Amino acid sequence: MSALICGSFAFDTIMVFQDRFKNHILPDKVHILNVAFHVPDLRREFGGCAANIAFNLKLLGGDPLPMGTVGKDFAPYAHWMDQHEIPRTHVKEIEDSYTAQAFITTDQDDNQITAFHPGAMDFAHEVQVGEVQGVKIGIVSPDGRQGMIDHARQFAEAGIPFVFDPGQAMPLFSREDFQQFIEQATWICVNDYESQLLSDRTGWSPHEIAEKVEALVVTCGGEGSHIYLSGKRLEIPAARARVVRDPTGCGDAYRAGLLYGLMNGLDWEVTGRVAALMGAIKIEQHGTQNHSFTRDEFHSRYRESFGRELDLN
């Protein structure tokens, strides 16, 4: 079974400032802010929600089909995807644009200053769900506004069950937009902050939202996650991370685990734990696509974290 993963592709340029922003920003001068930070540490990572989810689903042995729009500078990313056998058949290059890019400077207090250029992501509506054959499940993850609206509608019209994952795109949508997404989606996945914002925007509590879909999944970082089903809420514990290095991309790794469980008919207790373990494995590495594991290692980590065997048969 293939999963169509709609969302962004991006280059993340990450710089580390070996000091604290507060030591160099004068509070009474922020209206004329003009600062420069010397950043000896720099990494350029492959990112974007669709690509991150696809990378993690591939690690689990799933069959991802990422779909989105990229720019004229995509060649090194394309090579990376080819190396990891992630298909690019539904990735469209926009000739006059750059691939979406985030420029992130982090200080010693883990504060971040980020500039984001959407570039080709704003053309996500130019690729369509109907162009893909043989898809049984999908996800609409953060992307260009019109692309997310179109892809949700196209999944619903095609009768393909899908996860709605608004993420950092939440500010792009109105109350009416969110209500429409919820009516169309099969499942919804948000973090705890986004869950509160979704309730505030729609006027519906998590339990009320869960009555309109098959499940509402709310991640809570190190506190685990909640899965709201009709009339009840499951408490999923966090998996044990051996070291915490970089939380960026943990949500995408969790969503890959969620898709894997749904694609393989796992129950929610197991699906939530598989997803939680994916997030824990990711947090142990810098970047969003630099981790790996074997099937045996994953089973061992599952047993270590949850005190039970993982049965995928």
Question: Please, what are the domains in the chain?
Answer: 2-9+48-99+119-306 (3.40.1190.20)
CA-CA distance, 251 to 255, in Å (whole number)?
6
- pLDDT at position 28, please? 83
CA-CA distance, 202 to 182, in Å (whole number)?
10
Q: How far is CA 301 from the centre of its chain?
A: 22
- pLDDT at position 111, please? 81
- pLDDT at position 258, please? 98
- pLDDT at position 206, please? 96
- pLDDT at position 313, please? 59
CA-CA distance, 296 to 292, in Å (whole number)?
12
CA-CA distance, 285 to 280, in Å (whole number)?
10
CA-CA distance, 270 to 261, in Å (whole number)?
8
Q: pTM of the entire structure?
A: 0.93
Please identify every stretch of the chain with a pLDDT value under 50, giving residue numbers as ranges: none
- pLDDT at position 24, please? 87
